[in-house]
Amino acid sequence: GAVVSQHPSRVICKSGTSVKIECRSLDFQATTMFWYRQFPKKSLMLMATSNEGSKATYEQGVEKDKFLINHASLTLSTLTVTSAHPEDSSFYICSARTGRPPYEQYFGPGTRLTVT
Amino acid sequence: AQTVTQSQPEMSVQEAETVTLSCTYDTSESDYYLFWYKQPPSRQMILVIRQEAYKQQNATENRFSVNFQKAAKSFSLKISDSQLGDAAMYFCAYRSYPRATGTASKLTFGTGTRLQVTL
């Protein structure tokens, strides 16, 4: 299947700093990318949907100014957690979807963010 | 809005045996996809199987098969000849797909079922 990479896989940052997570579709063009957050032993919670070249659509309750999403190309989307706080510590997963039926959606390996 | 329910938080199966994971969903749409994803300890989400709602035939992928009951809005996953590598969280997911327009919506996940495989 298609490959989606995420970088970094783990990151530790200090409270108040910002951290950027990259998501790349390696062998296909992703017209749509998704960012999820997953708490321990819980399901994936969709944070936002981004389409290449346009603004991301955020789910209710997700602060768009805190979680900045950029989908600058058909193979790259970034999530920037601004002014991170310990409660932002979590597992973040990106996903990329092809632009043709059956609109297969592939997931990245995730990024573990720890804010100290 | 669509909802996906997995009523079994945890299941256990002996190696080489068969186990069935349950999933029900609620939707008013007629055109959609249903998925089972596996999330092993590595936390990489892996697509196990996909079912298109307009297809009556149940999808199968090697040892994995589904029982899709559209009228009952039920979509169970059967794992045959269970292996230690099958131990993981399994998520059922729904996605609407209006064939006429070709657009696809976001995935809606269930809460997951943790499958243990014992020797």
The amino acid sitting at A7 is H
Q: How far apart are CA B113 and CA B110, in angstroms?
A: 9
Nearest residue on chain B to A36, judged by CA atoms?
Answer: B107
Mean pLDDT within B91-103: 82
A10 C-beta neighbours (distance < 10 Å), count: 10
B window 61-90, beta carbon within 8 A of A: none
Compute CA distances A61 → A46, A66, A67, whole Å. 11, 11, 11
pLDDT confidence tier of residue B102, bands split at 50, 70 and 90: low
Among all chains, which residue has been given the structure tokens 């002014």?
A83
CB contact under 8 A, B44 and A103: no
> B35-46, pLDDT tens digit by residue?
999 999 999 999
pLDDT over 90 percentage in chain A: 78
Q: Is the peptide bond before A102 cis (omega within 30 degrees of 0)?
A: yes
Nearest to B116 by CA among B57, B59, B40: B40
> A10-53, pLDDT tens digit by residue?
999 999 999 999 999 998 899 899 999 999 889 999 999 998 88
Please count the residue pairs, one from chain A and one from chain B, whose beta carbons lie less than 8 angstroms apart: 46
Q: Are B93 and B108 in contact (CB under 8 A)?
A: yes
Chain A residues near residue B45 by CB distance under 8 angstroms: 44, 93, 95, 107
